[in-house]
Each structure stands twice: as structure tokens, then as C-alpha cells.
A and B are shown apart, each in its own frame.
Chain A
Amino acid sequence: MSVDVLSSIKDSLVNLDMDKTIDFVRRAVELGFKPMDIINVLADGMRVVGVRYERGEYFVSDLIVASEIFKEVMSILEPLITRVGEVVRPFGRVVIGTVEGDVHDIGKNLVITMLRANGFEVIDLGVDVPPKRFVEAVKQHKPDIVGMSALLTSTMVNMKRVIEALEEEGLRSSVKVIVGGAPITEKFAREIGADAYGENAVIAVDICKKLVEELHRGK
């Protein structure tokens, strides 16, 4: 029964059933499971949801629902975490924005949602973000990763300006840079000196995890 409840949490998240997930989480808490154990099975569940999306079995709406369930459950778990004195360290910190001249934000917001649901701390700079603001945010928040989004062929060039600005300020080596958006390609990402290209929100999360590990190995 006690192990069952953890797998039931995962299953109900994977099946996108908010009520059941919350019920099982409450039951797990009553049974004395540590918040971290519960968070770990939720993370497993999110991974399965991502895999199903990649396979075309799940839709973007399902990613959103899964993230919302995750958020709801975390609002139950967070007070407990504080009470039992556990410390939940975010997986990594990401500063993200849509580059200057471009105000498309659906893709960027989806990446944010998925990053948060996978344990990242995200600082969202919004849209139409000039290089200067990216630089300021890196200085202020000291992130592991800088994420940039663009939908227009006319604005994607501004990604390069941000990377140049980070270089000028001597900040480039302290962060990993990931870019994404409809016109962006792996080749373009390499050409402008980014570390990675995230084809979609699910892939972006996987890459961000790898980038954080790389960064910490390098330090």
C-alpha cells in the first residue's frame, strides 16, 4: 500500500487527473512520506508526460495541464517542506526572455512552465528584452542558464547581440546560453555562439539539465 501510493501519484499525474493526484499526495503525506520522496515521483511523472508529448501521444494542452497539477501539488507540499526543515534546492536557475523587437511569448512561456515543473527556478524578463537587460539580470541573479526566444527572422539576429554583450561584460563563461523559437536551428545557434538549441519545451528542459551539470563539472 505505502509504495502503491507513490506510484499512484505518478500514474494519476501521467493520466492528467488533478483530483486524484492531489488525493494521493495527501494520503502519502498522512502515511509519513517525506515531501522530497513525493516530489521525486512527481518529477518521474513529468518525465513520462514529456516522453508522450515527444511521441505525439500527448498535446501541448497536456503539458500545460501536467504543469498545473504539479503547481497545485507543490502548493500543498511547500509548507510541509518548510515545517520538516527540508531544503529543496532548485535544479538550476534560468534567466529567460524574448529578444529585442520581438514580443512573441507563447513558446517562451511554455518553456518556463516546463522548467518550473521540473524543479528549475526561472526569472522571466518578459518580451522585447534588450541586451542590456539580459546583462543586468545575469549580474543580479547569477543564473546557470540564459534562455532566449525569437519567432521572427528579423529579430533572431538580436540573440547574437545578447551573447556579445555578455562577452563584453566578462559574463559569458559563467552561464550557458540556450536559444529557441520557430526560425532557430541548431546551425544558427552554433553560429551565434550559443551553447544549445532547444527545439521544443520538453527538449529544452532536458538540455537545460545537461547544461547545468556541464557547468557545475566545469567549475
Chain B
Amino acid sequence: MGLKLRDRVISALRHEEPDRIPIDLGATPCTSVHAKTYYDLRKYLGLSLKPVRVMDIGQQLAEVDKDVLDLLHVDVVNVNRVLEPMAPHPYIYRFASVVDGSLKEVSDREFYIWRAPYGVDVEIPKYIEIVEVGEGFAGYSAGNIFGIIPRGGYYFWGLDRWRKSKPPLADVKSVDDVKKFDWDSFKVADDVVEILRKRAEYLYRNTDYALINNFIGGPGGYHDAGGQNLRGWDKWLSDLRVRKPLAEAILDHIHEVMMYNIKKIVNAVGEYVQVTAIAYDDLGTEEGPQISVQTFKEFYKHRYEELIGYVKKHSRMFTWLHSCGSVYPFIREFIDIGLDIINPVQISARGMDPEKLKKEFGEQITFWGGGVDTQHVLPLAKPDEVVDHVKKLIKIFAPGGGYVYASVHNIQPGAPPQNIVAMFKTAYEYGKYPIR
């Protein structure tokens, strides 16, 4: 008899060795699978074929069904799931339809079927409306446009990609301009947090899964999710050096929102949830960190310290940070301010050598990801090569606990189902402690 799923995850996060490494597929918008790939996977597994329910509209990520969770031995789910196991507390959206102007009142648990440009029928929640435009299909969330999926595309993208809009703070010149921005619009609404609380409580009491909260609202981070999204990717990088007062002013506002939101969220779900995301904030590129450690310390470290500190002080939740690319030098800094978990552990980026990461940081931080190279191995290798690759990574990351198995970021179209099955089968079978 194995451990309870939740206890398995907690044990791993405490840097103990449970009976086997815990496995994640679909608990976060960074450890999931694209709807197209998921459809092909179900077909390959001989499971019932039906439209794929989408849990992240922009990235077109599948909500993973219970049958697949069971088959792949997944141990953790997120609080806002829209498939079983699912909490029975809908959130009601009220908005004017962009299609016909009528007033809509729909819950986030009502769906309709849409044929996505990549040729798969997907289930889209009714508060999302999709309208054909010149570039492809524009998506509106409760009446507000959030992106366009090109014809033949796989994802929705922000309008700035087509130069149809600029990042919201692209043109601000002064600290006063920054102040005028509607920062309160980033703050999570009380009714949203209340639903989140009910869902967390329900899943805590009625399932055995470890629970992660991946909803944090607001900009979602300080650097990539913050300054770069609000100002423009490259403009923000120069702001940090040549327009420091402006950068500081923007960060002060972001931080106020981040603290406001995390307080609400911790108070709501802290009792029920084992892991909470604190930010989705890419600090790396494939070739190296985007910024120096010195810049990180100057602008971000103290703010992250307060954010993480709040969670640690007011709950027993483990803190989870997503940061893509080559982030090696920042891991030490994050350990220093109490971060528990780093994701996605992009092992193919420069300086992200698994052995070095485990040796230097393995006792102090949990790696959640790094389980298969989704760029160079999963889509291209043969199944037996995937098996060897996964075994090698588990052998490095698993000893001593502090490891949750997941792919490096989401599994994308082009990854053959044989390889995905090989990956999870190996994680389950080879991931039993003690690792041989």
C-alpha cells in the first residue's frame, strides 16, 4: 500500500524520500499539455475521445481528465480544476457579449465546443468569446480582448505582437504617469477569493490529492510578468539601468498589488492548500540570465523576500516560483529568502546542468520539473531514448527528496504520445525509492 498522494508530495517537499517521486501533469499552467497533444495522447491510450476541455485559454492547455491522472499516477491537482475531481462552486461572470451585445450571465463551469485552428474540437468556457478577424481568431474574456490565435496557430497571443496595441505602460515618461495607471484593476476581487477558498476546502476534504493554488491574479511577477509585460520586454531591461526612478515607481506599484493579492489568497486557502504559486517570472534566456545578480538584488530580491515571507509566516504552504531559462545564479538568492520550490528547471538552458543544480541547491530547494527536455528530446527522440533520458534525470534529481516529477514546461504539439507515455511510465516505475 503506497502513501496517500498528498502525503507523498508533502514528504518530497520536506526533502524526505517518500515511496516514490510525486508526479505532476496539469496542476499548473507550466506543467501541463497542449490540447492537440492531449487529444492524440488519449487516442493512443485508447481512452474515450471527446472534445478537450481547455483550462488555460491563451496557451490552449488541456485540463487532464481523471482517467489520465490515474493512469499516469499524478499526485497533485490545482484548486480551480474544471474536470473531476472538481469543487462544486462555480464563479459567475456577467458581461456584455462582443458578439451580439446581449448581457451574459454564465458560470466558469459552462462550456461550448469550438474547432480550434489546429484541428481539434476543444471545450471553451462560455465567458470566453471567439471572433474571426483578419489575423485569425480573436479571444475575448468576459468582453475584453486578450489575444489572437493565428490561422494554423496553436496559441493565443497578445495584440502587441501584431502591433495592434502597445504594452500598457510603454509610453509613460514620469513617476506621475505611473501613478495614474489603474493599478487597482490588478487586485483580486473578494468574490473570486471566496470561491477559491470554497474550492480549496472542498478538494482538501473530499480528495486525497495534494493541492496547489496557481491563481495569484495581478501582473503575476516583477520582472518578465511585471515590468517587461507592462513596459515592453527590452524597454524594461534598459529601464533597470537608465531609468531607475521610473523602474522603482513601477515596481512599488506592482509590489503593492502582489502583497495585496497574496494576503487575500493566503488567508483564503492557506489552511487547505499545500503549495501556492507566488509568481510566474521568467528571469532567464536560453543563453544566460537576463540580468545580473546585482540587478536582481537591487530591484527584486527584497520584494520577493517580503512576498515569500508573508506566505511562510501566515501559513504552512510551500512557495512555488516559475522562472524559465538560465536562472542558475538566482536560485541561491531565492533560497536565501526562503523560496521552497523552483519550476520549470529548464535543463537545456546554459548553466542549468542538473547535476550541478542538485549538488549545489538540492538540499535547500525543491525542483519541480526538469523531468524531460521538452524542446530537444521529447518531440524528437525515440521512446527508448526518452526512457534513458528520464532515468538519468531521476537518478540525479530524486535522491533525498526535494523533487516533484514534471516536464520542463508544458508538453507541446509535436511530442509523440509514445514518448509521453514512456516518460510517465519511467517516472512511475523508476521513480520508486530508493532510486537504483
Instruction: Report which A residues bind B (CB closer than 8 A).
Output: 16, 18, 56, 59-61, 64-65, 68-69, 100-101, 103, 105-106, 109-110, 113, 126-128, 152-154, 182-183, 200
Partner of B234, one of A103, A110, A128, A183: A110
Other 5 A-B pairs with CB < 8 A, given A103-B157, A128-B135, A154-B154 = A65-B241, A68-B242, A127-B157, A127-B161, A153-B380
**Bound CA–CA A154/B234 (angstroms):** 26
> Which residues from chain B contact A200 at a C-beta distance below 8 Å?
287
> Which residues from chain A contact B242 at a C-beta distance below 8 Å?
18, 65, 68-69
Asked if A126 and B162 make an inter-chain contact with CB atoms under 8 angstroms apart, the answer reads yes
Asked if A65 and B237 make an inter-chain contact with CB atoms under 8 angstroms apart, the answer reads yes
Asked if A61 and B240 make an inter-chain contact with CB atoms under 8 angstroms apart, the answer reads yes
List residues 160-215 of chain B with CB under 8 A from any CB of chain A: 161-163
- A153 with B163, Cβ < 8 A, contacts A59-B288, A60-B285 known: no
Answer whether residue B248 sits at the interface, using C-beta atoms and an 8 A cutoff. no
- A182 with B375, Cβ < 8 A, contacts A65-B237, A100-B152 known: yes
Among B152, B234, B291, B292: residue with most chain A CB under 10 A? B234
- A152 with B285, Cβ < 8 A, contacts A18-B242, A61-B290, A103-B161 known: no
Residues of B in contact with A, size category: 20 to 34
> Which residues from chain B contact A18 at a C-beta distance below 8 Å?
242
> Which residues from chain B contact A110 at a C-beta distance below 8 Å?
234
Main secondary structure of the interface of A (DSSP, over half): loop
Partner of A60, one of B150, B162, B163, B290: B290
Per-residue contact bits, chain B 221-234, to A (CB 8 Å; 1 contact, 0 not)? 00000000000011
**Bound CA–CA A64/B239 (angstroms):** 10
Main secondary structure of the interface of B (DSSP, over half): loop
Answer whether residue B286 sits at the interface, using C-beta atoms and an 8 A cutoff. yes
> Which residues from chain B contact A127 at a C-beta distance below 8 Å?
157, 161-162
Cβ distance B380 to chain A, nearest Cβ, rounded Å: 8
**Bound CA–CA A128/B157 (angstroms):** 11
> Which residues from chain B contact A105 at a C-beta distance below 8 Å?
161
**Bound CA–CA A149/B412 (angstroms):** 19
Asked if A60 and B153 make an inter-chain contact with CB atoms under 8 angstroms apart, the answer reads no
List residues 382-413 of chain B with CB under 8 A from any CB of chain A: 412-413
**Bound CA–CA A60/B414 (angstroms):** 30
Among B152, B163, B295: residue with most chain A CB under 10 A? B152
Answer whether residue B238 sits at the interface, using C-beta atoms and an 8 A cutoff. yes
Closest to B118 in A: A154
**Bound CA–CA A65/B244 (angstroms):** 13
Cβ distance B238 to chain A, nearest Cβ, rounded Å: 5
Shortest 7 CB-CB distances between A and B: which pairs? A61-B237, A103-B161, A64-B237, A103-B157, A68-B238, A64-B234, A61-B291
**Bound CA–CA A105/B289 (angstroms):** 18
> Which residues from chain A contact B375 at a C-beta distance below 8 Å?
153, 182-183
**Bound CA–CA A61/B294 (angstroms):** 12
Answer whether residue B379 sits at the interface, using C-beta atoms and an 8 A cutoff. yes
**Bound CA–CA A113/B163 (angstroms):** 17
Name 17 interchain pairs, CB-CB below 8 A, sorted by A: A16-B241, A59-B291, A59-B292, A60-B237, A60-B290, A61-B292, A100-B150, A101-B154, A103-B153, A103-B157, A110-B234, A128-B135, A128-B150, A153-B375, A153-B380, A154-B414, A183-B375
> Which residues from chain B contact A109 at a C-beta distance below 8 Å?
233-234
Closest to B287 in A: A200
